[in-house]
Structure 1
Amino acid sequence: MKLSRRHFLAGACALTLPAPRVWAASTLTFGPLRIDSLSDGHLVLPLEFGLAGLPEAELSALVARHGLAADGLTPPCNLTLLRDGTHTVLFDVGAGPDFMPSAGKLAEALDLLGVAPEEVTHVLITHGHPDHLWGLLDEFDEPVFTEAEYMIGRAEFDYWMDPATVETIGEERASFAVGAARRLEVIAGAVRKLEDGEAALPGITARLTPGHTPGHMAFGIAGPGGAVMVAGDAIGNHHIAFEQPDWPSPSDQDPALAAATRVALMEEFAASGMPFIGYHLPEGGIGRVEKAGSAYRFVGSI
């Protein structure tokens, strides 16, 4: 397995003040497999989104220890692209133009890699939240990746397509449900719905990792000489998720179930040493889990 890191300069940052944006792309290679983690930009979230409920002293220490901004979180969004010479597989499609101005930069990232949307053969979706799904359609409500076969977990698809979801998900996330259903409806007749443990493609296996959403899927990738897991939001950040993985996070739709999933993955990754790609983790999201006493730490240099 080989890892390389590249940085690309791209246009202006999509915040209120223009500034240069640095595109980071990290590459893993397993023999003929090339896996790129590329930027869709970043989110801008209130601090309590992921850290609500922490005692003030503990929160302040966490912010200082990890160099977090005291007034908010700006997690990166790391999309994964796999190429094996036959398939060009995109894991999630980013936020698109309608969620946050700081995200939705996938087209620029693909262009910098020399990959056209029509070259993508398969799109595998971890879950239906806006920063992972809303880039599915263009400004004419047509699929961006016109030649791709789409796949998503069956439980995840059924959840977002259920008309009752918008009424039960809570007021703050109601727009998530409306947006997900609108996009999934466009591909509903052709999307392949995956079960836990099912092979999506040769060497790519769906793994049910619920809690962040009811049917959240991770995807294990096995190649000559190595393996990696695309973990989506099953491990959602590089700080509290590692230091206190059993802490219920308000960013998860089922905090208790998500915590159980997160603890199990931490144990698995720490024991096996297998690298994984986290959607909102630093350094392109590619790294490993190491034990740190009774907790864990994210090691981004592998």
Structure 2
Amino acid sequence: MAFTRREFGVSAAAGLAVAAVPGWSSAQITLGNKRIATVSDGYLNLPPEFLFDGLAPDVLQQALEQYGLPAGPLTPDVNVTLLREESRVVLFDAGAGPGFQESAGNLPGALDVLGVRPEEVTHVVFTHCHPDHLWGVLDDFDDLLFPRAAYLMGQREWDYWFDPETVDSIGSSRAAMAIGARRRMEQLEDKVQLFRDGEEILPGVAAVATPGHTPGHMSFEVRDGSDGVLVLGDAVGNHHVSFAEPGRPVGADQEPQKAAATRMRLLDQLAAGQMQLIGYHLPGGGIGRAERFGSGYRFVPAA
């Protein structure tokens, strides 16, 4: 049987994933008929300044020691959420794809190991348009990786990144992100469905505006009756600083003060209600809970 070029690429990616990713589905949740898992797209390599932008070197070293972080690159996990219910196969974000970092872009192979083919994905829902969330919509040949999927994104996030003036206003360090986002969004323009805060975008899935990391960042509350989980995206982007000191500005956020306010609100609600959460860059597959700890919070991974 002859392979199509997409099938060949997915098979090759599966082989790479086996070598690079120790677990395909790191954690799982069942909510009624909804089966939710996190699938590893790999990990990122980021300089410490990505979290601690603006700190003097000696203060940065103190912060790294305080949170037990390495002096070298930070390597946060990339957890794509997979929701399966009846005929729906839903991805929350699309991973980094082949053009961002060598340590990421493993999603096609990880899905293949789980028996999920790209053609079976019915919906791709975006939290925001940073490379590790959006760029994976295109394969090595610049074709849509999920050709039969509907694509859903918040109206404000779409407007911000699709605006041709964003590349000039976002700052030189993020200009490549804006260029890359626009190129991929042009391929989605005729397929995307836009929504606003509070809308039920799919049965049992509601959009929750969580701005700051990007201007239109969205999280998603997935519910079945009284049971639910909040898919955070990057609204809480790490398991150490942003839990222990949620009000502390983070260099990865485009609007640091607004992101900090969002983070404090979310963690207060999550800890008070003990609602499950899924974080895109949290360890152990990203599924767990927030609980109060001292003057802040801590991340408690799912058992």
TM-score w.r.t. the length of structure 2 is 0.91
SS in 1 for 2:22: strand
The residue that corresponds to 1:220 in the other structure is 221
Q: Deviation of residue 59 (structure 1)? A: 4.5
C-alpha distance in structure 2 between counterparts of 1:65 and 1:34, whole Å: 37
**Contact kept in structure 1, 2:220 and 2:230, CA below 8 Å:** yes
The residue that corresponds to 1:237 in the other structure is 238
Q: Deviation of residue 140 (structure 1)? A: 2.8
Residue identity opposite 1:246 in structure 2? G
The residue that corresponds to 1:166 in the other structure is 167
The residue that corresponds to 2:114 in the other structure is 113
Residues 53-95 of structure 1, C-alpha deviation per residue, up to 9 Å, x if partnerless?
Answer: 4576765455345442211200000000000122111000000
Stretch moving more, 92-101 or 221-230: 221-230
The residue that corresponds to 1:4 in the other structure is none
Q: Give 5+ residue unaligned stretches, structure 1.
A: 1-9
C-alpha distance in structure 1 between counterparts of 2:79 and 2:153, whole Å: 18
Cα distance 1:68–1:223, how it changes in 2: closer, same or farther (>3 A)?
same
C-alpha distance in structure 2 between counterparts of 1:12 and 1:145, whole Å: 19
The residue that corresponds to 2:22 in the other structure is 22
Q: Deviation of residue 108 (structure 1)? A: 1.1
SS in 2 for 1:22: coil
The residue that corresponds to 1:7 in the other structure is none
Residues 165-219 of structure 1, C-alpha deviation per residue, up to 9 Å, x if partnerless?
Answer: 0000000100100000110111111200110001110100011100000000101
Residue identity opposite 2:39 in structure 1? L
Q: Deviation of residue 31 (structure 1)? A: 2.2
**Contact kept in structure 2, 1:62 and 1:239, CA below 8 Å:** no
Cα distance 1:226–1:197, how it changes in 2: closer, same or farther (>3 A)?
same
SS in 2 for 1:281: coil
**Contact kept in structure 1, 2:111 and 2:117, CA below 8 Å:** yes
SS in 2 for 1:271: helix
Percent identical among aligned pairs is: 52
The residue that corresponds to 2:250 in the other structure is 249
The residue that corresponds to 2:37 in the other structure is 36
The residue that corresponds to 1:189 in the other structure is 190
**Contact kept in structure 2, 1:166 and 1:177, CA below 8 Å:** yes
Residue identity opposite 1:236 in structure 2? G
The residue that corresponds to 2:259 in the other structure is 258
C-alpha distance in structure 2 between counterparts of 1:157 and 1:53, whole Å: 29
The residue that corresponds to 2:99 in the other structure is 98
TM-score w.r.t. the length of structure 1 is 0.91
Q: Deviation of residue 106 (structure 1)? A: 0.2
Residues 203-247 of structure 1, C-alpha deviation per residue, up to 9 Å, x if partnerless?
Answer: 000111000000001011001451001100000000100111101
C-alpha distance in structure 2 between counterparts of 1:47 and 1:13, whole Å: 26
The residue that corresponds to 2:89 in the other structure is 88
The residue that corresponds to 1:298 in the other structure is 299
C-alpha distance in structure 2 between counterparts of 1:224 and 1:116, whole Å: 30
Residues 277-301 of structure 1, C-alpha deviation per residue, up to 9 Å, x if partnerless?
Answer: 0000001000100001211000012
Cα distance 1:218–1:243, how it changes in 2: closer, same or farther (>3 A)?
same
- Equivalent runs, 1:135-174 vs 2, <5 Å: 135-174=136-175
C-alpha distance in structure 1 between counterparts of 2:142 and 2:237, whole Å: 29
C-alpha distance in structure 1 between counterparts of 2:55 and 2:162, whole Å: 34
Cα distance 1:20–1:154, how it changes in 2: closer, same or farther (>3 A)?
closer
Stretch moving more, 58-67 or 179-188: 58-67
**Contact kept in structure 1, 2:16 and 2:109, CA below 8 Å:** no
C-alpha distance in structure 2 between counterparts of 1:58 and 1:289, whole Å: 27
The residue that corresponds to 2:5 in the other structure is none
C-alpha distance in structure 2 between counterparts of 1:20 and 1:122, whole Å: 26
The residue that corresponds to 1:175 in the other structure is 176
Q: Give 5+ residue unaligned stretches, structure 2.
A: 1-13
Residue identity opposite 2:108 in structure 1? A
Residue identity opposite 1:284 in structure 2? G
C-alpha distance in structure 2 between counterparts of 1:88 and 1:122, whole Å: 6
Stretch moving more, 64-73 or 257-266: 64-73
Aligned residues: 289
SS in 2 for 1:158: helix
Q: Deviation of residue 23 (structure 1)? A: 2.1
Residue identity opposite 2:93 in structure 1? D
SS in 1 for 2:285: helix
Question: Which 4+ runs in 1 deviate beyond 3 A?
Answer: 10-14, 53-67
**Contact kept in structure 2, 1:231 and 1:279, CA below 8 Å:** yes
